[in-house]
Every structure is written in structure tokens, then in C-alpha cells.
Amino acid sequence: MPALAHGRPLRIVLAEDSVLLREGLIGLLTRFGHEVVAAVGDADALLAAVAEHGPDAVVTDVRMPPALQDEGLRAAVRLRAERPGLPVLVLSQYVQRAYAAELLDSGDGTGVGYLLKDRVGQVEEFVSALAEVAAGGTVVDPEVVRQLLRRRRDPLARLTPREREVLALVAEGKSNGAIARTLVVTEAAVGKHIGSILTKLDLPPADDTHRRVLAVLAFLRA
Amino acid sequence: MTVWRALAGRGYLGSAWPWRAVAYLASGALFGAVVLVVIVSGAVAGGVLAVVLVGLPLLVLTALAGIPVAAVERRRLRLAGAGPMPPGQHRVPDRPGLAAWLVVRLGEAATWRELAYAVLLGVVLWPLDAAAVAGGAVLPLSMVAAPALVAVDGEAKVAKLWLVDSWPGAFAVAGLGLVLLAAGAYALGAVAGARAELARALLAGKDSDRVTELVRSRVRLVDAFEAERRRIERDLHDGAQQRVVALTMTLGLARLDAPPGRLADQLATAHREAERALAELRELIHGIHPKVLTDYGLEAAVADAADRSPVPVDVDLELPERLPRPVESAAYFVVCEALANVARHSGAGRAEVSGGYGDGRLVLRVRDDGRGGADARGGTGLTGLADRVSVLDGRLSLSSPPGGPTLLRVEIPCRPSPMEDPCG
């Protein structure tokens, strides 16, 4: 397993309605040095806890009482509108592209993540995804990415298969170095691919992080 | 065996059939007279008292009188040997309570048809029954009894017309009575058979009633089936899935703490298996009833199905609002099945799902550029879906000439429905 960055210790507000999972997640986050300042079971309590504690990051389930639909996502989108820059990681029990797109469209698309709940089993990767989000990155679940890749629609049609692979890894929040390791190529080659992707997607020259986020958004909206 | 069939056979006179025919007709005469009294008194009393409102319930009761009358008549049919008769085509009320029951009963044709039968029984049929019994059994018996009457009273009056006071005359009358009794037994058998057939025909109801009821029960079955799928999905989602997620998390954490060696390897295997189980569980739940369909409706669910298809699919579907759940489900599963067939059999490089809602109906089309030649009856799973669509009064058609393209079209009449209770 490659060494993954676990980032700095974070003060986290956790929203998850299943007691079993909530306790498990608290244990997991604590194990990696984070502090769960509040663990709540519904969306209203989440909004209140964030207002009270002003955490470094929020981890929330999509589905929560009372209606067990997308209350968690609604709360996450609202939090991002009210508190730009608050990193939010949303966990979903199933892939729903509409969720991912809505979430990434909120705020400026930075400091946000959308993962399948299954990923918490990969504890280290989960914690590093959280660190990535907390550091302002964008993380999208590989499963979402895989579904999007099947569609092969413009503007992504212009990308070569290799470039799509690279873009998928970018969407997962991986750095150039991590992408190079995954694809077993040099970091310079990854940089070249990314440059080509950004050009093909007509993304304006700006600072690199922002353009990467825009590329991911283009990818999601495709 | 019916009384008619028995008439044609040998040994009729010695069998129970003549007795049964008499019992059928005599009980019919008695019962009919009672029915006449009840209906007339109910209608008169109800009509008079209706002015002060208390009569109205009485009138309603009278209107319902046909139901028990018909039930008794159906039972009586057994005397005439008519085969088992299905109970009346009365619907089962959707809700419990007297009010719901009354509304259903007063609103259905069967109730009024049975009332009409009760009136016919009270006015026309029972006097005929009585006349048949009198002519076919009572008269011959009284003739047979003539010698006994002459012995006791010295004279006998046959049918109140014909005075007999001599022994030879009495025995002649008795002999004639025996002949008439035998003939009457046959006549009564024939009358009872005819009477039973008439009752049967009038009480059987029309096939259209039965068809309507069948259609209703089919819709109820599909609804129940649908609700059950949603319940299973919800239970798996809230129960098993959460537990397996927690399990993978625990195993993941345990792996961090395990020293390298056999234990770590075994933990890694357990972890992998748990993750596989989780992935399979997720697919299973999705196949039972996708959450996205419940939460976001048909448009999003079709987009999701298109995303999952191995063959690239273009979606052009716009719906104004949510549609009734059975409609959404049926349409969704048709699209899924169609896309699965595209991937499996068509050899298509592209497919398209298009459609919309207009003129009170949902129309969906799934087209592919494959080799065609698909057959809806060829066990493609579309037959079951066509049934499901037809329950909703919809239609599913497939055009797939050899060489393609294949076009599947589904059309379901419905009205947009506001968001229902998500827990329902």
C-alpha cells in the first residue's frame, strides 16, 4: 500500500443516522488523530453543530431522517453556500451523478468530496481523501468516474483514452505524483497529459489547482 | 349430476331426485312468499317513513335485501343438483367500516341485479313453484288418498270439484292418482331443472363483472408486489448494507493494527471478501428497486440506467413532474430490460432512449442501431414487462426487422402525481 497523506489533525462534525456507522466513523477518525467535535443523526442537528463548533471539516451521509432522502446533501449544499471554504465530504450509499454534480457546483468546487459509503472500508484511502478535501481539493468517487467514462460524450470525446484515464484520476483527487505512480509513468508525462486535457477542454489559463477543478467539473457535466 | 340428467336415466322414480325436486320447489315457494312480505313491507314502511328520514335506512336495507336472498337461492340450487355456483361478484371494499361497505355495495351492478332477482322471486317465481308442487305432487297424492277418505268420511272430494263416494270410484281415482303421481314426478323434475337453470342464469352475473374484478385484483397484486420490492430495498439498505459497511471499516482498522504475518494476511482476505459482499449487495439493492427512482423519479433513474449500460446511450427524456409510482417502476424496468437486451443481443454501437409526457400518457422509446431481429416472445424478459405495462392499461410494442434498427416503444396512460409519502 503506498504511503498516503493523512494531513493535519482536524476538528470534524460528523452526521450519520446509523448509530453503528457513526460510532465506527468516530473510532476511525480518532484513530488517525482527528477530533470529532460533534456527531449528529440528522440534517438540522448538523447545521446547528456546524454553527456551534465551527469545525475544520464536515463529513455527512446523504440519506438522513426524517424523510430518508437527500437531507444530508441539501444540508451540505447549504453549508457550502453559507460558509464558503468549509470543506465538506459527502458519503452516499449509492452513486447518483445528480448528487455529485450538485455538490461540486456548490461554492467554487474546491474543498469538496463525494464518496460511496463503501470507501470507508478502505480506511487509509478514506482518511487521505478527507485530508485532500480539507486541504481544498476535490474528490469524486471512482465509481462515479467509471460511470461517466462509459458515456464517452463531447467534450470528453476529444480526449485520448490515456487522457481520460488521467482525468479520472484527477477527479479522484490524486496529485500528479500519485497519478504517475498509478499509471506507472513519469510525473512529467502526467503533466503533459494534464496540459493537453486542459487545452482540449478549452479551460482558460489560470492557476493550476483551479483549472484542475474546472476539468473535473467539465467531466461531471459531460 | 343435475335433475335433468337424472330424468333421462333409468330408475328416476325410485331415486331421491323426485323428492329433491319437490323439496326445491316447495322451499322456493315458501322462501319466495317470505321474500315478498319482507320486500313489500320494507319498501312501504321505508317509503312512508322517508318523509321523516328514518325511512331512508330502511329503504337502503331493502335495496340490499337481494344479497342474502341471492345467497340462499345459490345454496338452494344444490337441491336441484346444479353444480357448485360461484358466490356473487361482490367487490371487497378497500377500507374497513360500514360506510365503505355500503358505498361499494350500492355502487355495484351485482347488488341491483340480485335485488331484481329477489323481486322476481317474490312476485312471479314463488307462485309458479307453488302451482307446480300443487299440480305435480299435492293433487295426485290427494287422489291416491281417496280410498282412505272414503273409508273415514264416506266421501272424498278430489281437487274440490269431483265428489267420489263409492269404493270402485275411490279405487279408480287412487289408480289414476298413482299414474298422475308418476307423471308428476317427471314433470316436477323438469320444472325444478328449468327453475334452477333460470336462477343460475340470473344470479351468475355477467362476465364483464368478473373481468373487471380480475383486472382490479391484478392491479392490486402489482401494487402489492411493488410495495414489497420497495420494502425489501429499504430493509436491505438500512440494515444489512449499513452493517457490512461497518464490518469493512472494522476490518480495515484491524488491518492497520495487525503485525505483518498470517493474521494480517487473513485479515486482508476477510477485508476483501467483505468489500466484495458490499459491492454485490449494492448491485442487488439497485436491481430490486433503485433508490434513485424512488428519490428522483423516472428521468434521473433512466439517466442512471443509461450510465450503467455498456453500450453508449443517449438520453432525451423530459418529464414535467413525478408520475405515479407503478408507472415509473414499469417504465424504468422496461428501459432497463431493453438496454440489457441491446447490450446482450443487438450488437449495437449506440442506443437512444427518448420520450416524454403528453396528452395524458407517458411515451418512451428505446432505439438501437444493432442487427435487429429481436422477438418479444423469445424469452427476452419483455413478455413479463409487457404484462406489467398492460396492467396499467399501457402498451408495449417492438419493431425489429432483420438488419435493424430495433425500436421498442412503451406507452402508459397516467396523470402526473405529486410527491407521495416517501415511506409508503
- Is the preceding peptide bond at A66 cis, omega within 30 degrees of 0? yes
The answer to the question of residue A2 being in a domain is no
More confident residue, B145 or B91: B145
Provide the pLDDT for residue A50.
94
Type of residue at B42: G
Q: Does position A140 have pLDDT exceeding 90, yes or no?
A: no
Closest C-alpha to A28, from B385, B282, B251, B253:
B253
pLDDT surpassing 70 at residue B87: no
Is residue A111 within 8 Å of residue A186, measured between CB atoms?
A: no
Provide the pLDDT for residue A209: 62
Q: Is residue A88 part of a domain?
A: yes
In degrees, to the nearest 5, what angle opens at C-alpha B144 toward C-alphas B141 and B147?
Answer: 140
Pairing of strands A138-140, A35-40: unpaired
CATH number where A34 lies: 3.40.50.2300
> What is the side-by-side order of every strand in the sheet holding A57-61?
A35-40, A11-15, A57-61, A88-92, A112-116, A138-140
| A90 in the same domain as A189 | no
Same domain for A184 and A135: no
Q: Based on the domain organization, do A63 and A79 belong to the same domain?
A: yes
Tell me whether residues A94 and B290 touch, CB distance under 8 A: yes
- A67 vs B245, B312, B422: nearest CB: B422
Which pLDDT does position A157 carry in this prediction? 67
Residue A217 reports pLDDT greater than 90: no
A133 and A97 inside one domain? yes
Q: B275 vs A148: CB contact, 8 Å cut-off?
A: no
The pLDDT-based confidence of B172 (bands split at 50, 70, 90) is: confident
> Does A51 lie in the same domain as A70?
yes
User: What's the gap in Å between the CA of B84 and the closest CA on chain A?
Assistant: 52
- In this predicted structure, what is the pLDDT of residue B418? 65
Same domain for A175 and A151, yes or no, is yes
Higher-confidence residue of B28 and B5: namely B28
pLDDT reported for residue A3: 44
For residues A53 and A67, state if they share a domain. Answer: yes
pLDDT tens sequence across B124-168: 999 999 999 998 888 888 888 888 888 888 777 777 777 887 888
Average pLDDT, chain A: 82
Q: Which residues contact B191 (CB under 8 A, 6 or more apart)?
A: B21, B25, B132, B136
Are residues A108 and A22 part of one domain? yes
**CB–CB contact B249 A147 (8 Å):** no
- Cβ atoms of A79 and A103 within 8 Å: the answer is no
Top pLDDT among B206 and A175 is at A175
In a domain? residue A24 = yes
Helix pair angle (B262-288, B240-257), 10° resolution: 160
How distant is the Cα of A207 from the closest Cα of chain B, in angstroms? 32
Whole-structure pTM over 0.90, yes or no?
Answer: no
Asked if the Cβ–Cβ distance from A123 to B274 is below 8 Å, we say: no
Test B295 with A28 for CB contact under 8 angstroms: no
Say yes or no: A201 and A135 in one domain: no
- Mean pLDDT for B182-188 is 89
Res A202: pLDDT = 66
Q: Report, in angstroms and rounded to the nearest whole number, the Rg of chain A calculated over CA atoms.
A: 17
pLDDT > 80? residue A167? yes
Across the interface, do B245 and A120 touch by the CB < 8 Å criterion? yes
Min Cα separation B401/chain A (Å): 27
How confident is the model over B342-366, as pLDDT tens digits?
888 888 888 999 999 988 889 999 9
> Where is pLDDT greater, at B321 or B419?
B321
Q: Above 80 in pLDDT, residue A128?
A: yes
pLDDT band at A64 (very low <50, low <70, confident <90, very high): confident
At residue B366, the pLDDT reads 92
> A101 and A178 share a domain?
no
Is A28 in Cβ contact with B292 (below 8 Å)? no
Task: Flag the least confident range among A130-144, A153-167, B29-43, B352-366.
Answer: A153-167
Same domain, yes or no, for A120 and A30?
yes
Q: Tell me the residues of B at the A interface, defined by beta carbons under 8 Å apart.
A: 237-238, 241-243, 245-246, 248-253, 255-256, 271, 274-275, 278-279, 282, 285-286, 290-292, 295-296, 300, 303-304, 306-310, 312-313, 422-423
SS3 for A92?
strand
- Say if the Cβ atoms of B249 and A24 lie within 8 Å: yes
Q: Quick one: pLDDT at residue B376?
A: 64
Write the single-letter amino acid at A207: D
Residue of chain A minimizing CA distance to B248: A121
Closest chain A residue to the Cα of B420, Cα to Cα: A67
| A186-216 per-position pLDDT tens digit | 888 888 888 778 777 766 555 566 667 767 7
Domain span at residue A207 reads 145-221
Q: Is the ipTM of this complex over 0.90?
A: no
Q: Report how many domains make up chain A.
A: 2
To which CATH superfamily is domain B292-413 assigned?
Answer: Histidine kinase-like ATPase, C-terminal domain (3.30.565.10)
CB A15 within 8 A of CB A64: yes
Q: In terms of domains, do A95 and A167 share one?
A: no
